[in-house]
Amino acid sequence: MTQLTTTLIHHPYVPPAGFDAPQPGIFKASTVFFPSVAAMRSREWKDKSAYTYGLHGTPTTYALEERLCTLEGGLQCVLAPSGLSAVALVALSLLKSGDEVLIPDNAYGPNKALTEGELKSWGITHRYYDPMDPQDLASKLSERTQLVWVEAAGSVTLEFPDLVEQVRICKRKGVHVVLDNTWGAGLAFQPFNLLPDTESGLGVDLSVHALTKYPSGGGDVLMGSVITRDPALHLQIKLTHMRLGLGVGANDAENVLRALPSMALRYQAHDQATRALAQWCDNQPEFAQVLHPALAASPGHAHWKSLCKNGPGGAAGLFSVVVDTRFTQAQVDAFCDALQLFRLGYSWGGPISLVVPYELETMRSGWPKHLARGTVVRFAVGLEAMEDLRADIEQALQHLR
């Protein structure tokens, strides 16, 4: 007879198979058992046909990966512990010493910090290109260019580039193009099929998504994904992912699985309220410019319209204002501090509206010619009633008047 402790550990009871319920279940594991040494030696994990170790996947993470592929129109997916780690994973997997990476000047800031702070010291060079000038991108491609980042819309300033032309330019040169698809989220346009009606197949090679935002939807989970449609490219990402030991927590994966069914509805709600607020802000004299791709005067509006309006649609839940130069930094800060419903905080995609003032001078190579001078304030619109959010901005504007 084994001792009680041992029996509690090696208990003979096996619950019946076939449990069927709305959620796929939270499987937590570092260790995964093998029935034999032979199985241990031969087990294949890269194609999701089995399990080998918690880091390499569980039923929970496999289920999430497959749903994200469906969301973005990809075929393979790896999960990373944050959006930024997914960005870094792509860079570390596809770039080596002597290579060059091209990044739009309005890229997600930490992507630039990764490039300047880490990649550079490993002999990987970078160049920033003007997201609104495809010829600038074309002229910066060289023999050494191995990766091009694109972002639509751009971070903070929300310019919408000619994504189709950017991708065409990269394809002609045979350079991998990776989209940071956090804004579009798989709902505004299809990253792997940018021209569904006429020219099927034109799309990015990789899509990175900060699941922290709309897929999580709660402001309480950090996660990222890298989606591909090419098995060889996926394997390259997957091997680097494995070697770096990147994994996600089962509870976090379950949180995202739970939020995915409502994602399209939430995105639509964020979108509608954001358009209404951006429109209203456009009529306020304190703001020299309002940046939102669906506004006719916003940089790249025509590109947004041709890519998104005739496709699945959508314009996410972000807009920025450029506060006129006649107001001091202290006044702009007071405006942000006076907001009650818009909380001060980074990230977006959850129910609570957020606001961040930015110092664009420190973020861009030069002041973009399509932007008015002033202080940029970015609003991330949550799920509160639009009228309440508008009233909040209106009362805070008293601090500028």
Ligand X SMILES: *Cc1c(COP(=O)(O)O)cnc(C)c1O
Interface residues toward ligand X, by CB under 6 A: 82-84, 87, 108, 155, 180, 182, 210, 212-213, 222, 224, 347
> What is the closest distance, in whole angstroms, from the C-beta atom of residue 36 to ligand X in the complex?
40
Question: Which H or E element spans position 269?
Answer: helix 263-282
Alpha-carbon distance of 373 to 390, in angstroms, equals 24
> What is the closest distance, in whole angstroms, from the C-beta atom of residue 80 to ligand X in the complex?
9
Q: Which is nearer to ligand X, 235 or 383 (CB)?
A: 383
Q: Which is nearer to ligand X, 213 or 292 (CB)?
A: 213
> What is the closest distance, in whole angstroms, from the C-beta atom of residue 130 to ligand X in the complex?
18
Alpha-carbon distance of 136 to 372, in angstroms, equals 21
Q: 373-385 burial, b if ≥16 CB within 10 A, otherwise e?
A: ebbbbbbbbbbee
Residue with tokens 């003979």: 12
Q: Which is nearer to ligand X, 222 or 257 (CB)?
A: 222
Q: Which is nearer to ligand X, 219 or 368 (CB)?
A: 219
> What is the closest distance, in whole angstroms, from the C-beta atom of residue 179 to ligand X in the complex?
10
Alpha-carbon distance of 394 to 396, in angstroms, equals 5
> What is the closest distance, in whole angstroms, from the C-beta atom of residue 246 to ligand X in the complex?
12
> What is the closest distance, in whole angstroms, from the C-beta atom of residue 213 to ligand X in the complex?
6
Q: Distances from the Cα of 323 to the Cαs of 160, 320, 340, 374, in angstroms?
A: 20, 9, 19, 5
> What is the closest distance, in whole angstroms, from the C-beta atom of residue 318 to ligand X in the complex?
9
Q: Which is nearer to ligand X, 76 or 111 (CB)?
A: 111
Residue closest to ligand X, measured at CB = 83
- CB under 8 Å, gap of 24 or more: what pairs does 84-87 form? 84/110, 84/111, 84/114, 84/210, 84/224, 85/224, 85/246, 86/208, 86/209, 86/210, 86/224, 86/225, 86/226, 87/111, 87/114, 87/180, 87/208, 87/224
> What is the closest distance, in whole angstroms, from the C-beta atom of residue 108 to ligand X in the complex?
4
Q: Which is nearer to ligand X, 209 or 303 (CB)?
A: 209
Q: Which is nearer to ligand X, 162 or 180 (CB)?
A: 180
Residues 171, 306, 169, CA angle at the centre, nearest 5°? Answer: 15
Torsion sign over Cα 278, 356, 316, 169: positive
> What is the closest distance, in whole angstroms, from the C-beta atom of residue 245 to ligand X in the complex?
17
Q: Is residue 324 helix, strand or coil?
A: coil
DSSP code of residue 47: T
Q: Which is nearer to ligand X, 317 or 324 (CB)?
A: 317
Q: Which is nearer to ligand X, 51 or 382 (CB)?
A: 382
Structure tokens at 123: 């002999």
156's torsion region: left (phi>0), alpha (psi -120 to 50) or beta? Answer: left
DSSP code of residue 362: G
